[in-house]
Amino acid sequence: MATLVTGGAGYIGSHMVHALVDRGETVVVLDDLSTGFEAVLPDAATLVVGDIGDEVLVGGLIASRGIDAIVHFAGSIVVPESVADPLKYYLNNTVKSRALIAAAVRGGVGAFLFSSTAAVYGEPTVDAPIGETVAPAPVSPYGWSKLMTEVMLRDAAAAHGLAYTVLRYFNVAGADPKGRTGQSTPNATHLIKIACQTALGQRAKMQVFGTDYPTPDGTCLRDYIHVTDLVEAHVLALARLRAGGGNLVANCGYGRGFSVREVVEAVRRVSGVDFVAEVVDRRPGDPSALVADSGLIRRELGWVPALDDLDGIVGNALAWEAALARRNSAPGAR
């Protein structure tokens, strides 16, 4: 058996590649390296530089590499950018996913695991935690582009017998505790990464987008999940699919939220640096609160988070940012 990991040189994808290699699995990574980095991949993984929308390429990999499972991370992920350039998101996240699913169906791939998002819920009317029975209602092209892929998987499964699991992420943060990989994109928009970069002096200041939300301190509330815990959920989901488990759509989060201000204070506390966090206007497409009801994934997968601690998440993220800065400043770095 071999697993094809799309976007495997990216943030979450590279953590999954390490987790699979650690378990002795054969892993093929398909990544165009537009936001991914070969340097974060383990030597045991095979990297193919290419486009997930290239059905001929994907079909050839499935046939030649004995691919029995696809874990699909590749895509564009910045909500405000999706509002400004929606067609980019419908191409990268929807059209190309359609091509990938078609190649999987033709190649007889038995398991398909898809990286989705809590953005499919939009601005939920429920007060707290959001369960999978809440009707999707995206408020951004990013959320719609992911939901469309979920629908394609549902329909392909009904028509062709493709077995799939959709994991809807809440806010992924942190880095590999062993220091092998982390969020490496310089202009990434993840709050904890930005706050860590500011604490380390890589940014003069950071911005807090809006303080007039209907939350306890007026800033957006999010469910931050350590990337290692998230990847463990993927490993369990993949094992379940391979064992003949049914199709599943499940949230990935801890079930409690932290506000932007609480995250900023955590980074200040862990780093020991009192950096500038400038308050500015809201960004388009940001719901006030997104917190997961994680009961389903815990029941179905037996998932038990091991790193549910905001200061620990921040500590791993800070360590990665410091290591990344050293690597990027080394002679010959690019």
Q: Which residue has the tokens 């699909």?
A: 72
Q: Which of 142, 169, 224, 254 is catalytic?
A: 142
Residue 142 near residue 116 (C-beta atoms within 8 A): no
Query: Which candidate, 115, 96, 208, places its Cα nearest to that of 170?
Result: 115
**Token pair of 125, please?**
């009317």
Q: What is the dihedral of CA 153, 158, 160, 165, to 10 degrees?
A: 40
Q: Is 239 in contact with 301 (CB distance < 8 Å)?
A: no
The span from the CA of 247 to the CA of 111, in Å, is: 10
Residue 213 known to be catalytic: no
Other Cβ atoms within 10 Å of 239 Cβ, number: 13
Per the CB < 8 A criterion, the answer to whether 3 and 67 are in contact is yes
Alpha carbons 148 and 156: distance in angstroms, whole number? 12
d(Cα 71, Cα 235) in Å, to the nearest integer? 10
**Beta-carbon-side half-sphere exposure of residue 255 (alpha carbons within 13 Å):** 11
Q: What CA–CA distances, in Å, run from 266 to 34, 136, 253, 261, 320? A: 31, 31, 19, 9, 16
Nearest to 185, CA basis, from 13, 49, 46: 13
H or E element that contains 9: none
Q: Does residue 197 contact residue 320 with C-beta atoms inside 8 Å?
A: no
As to burial, measured by CB atoms within 10 angstroms (0-12 exposed, 13-18 middle, 19+ buried), residue 142 is buried
Question: At residue 150, what is the residue type?
Answer: E
Point out the residues that are catalytic. 142
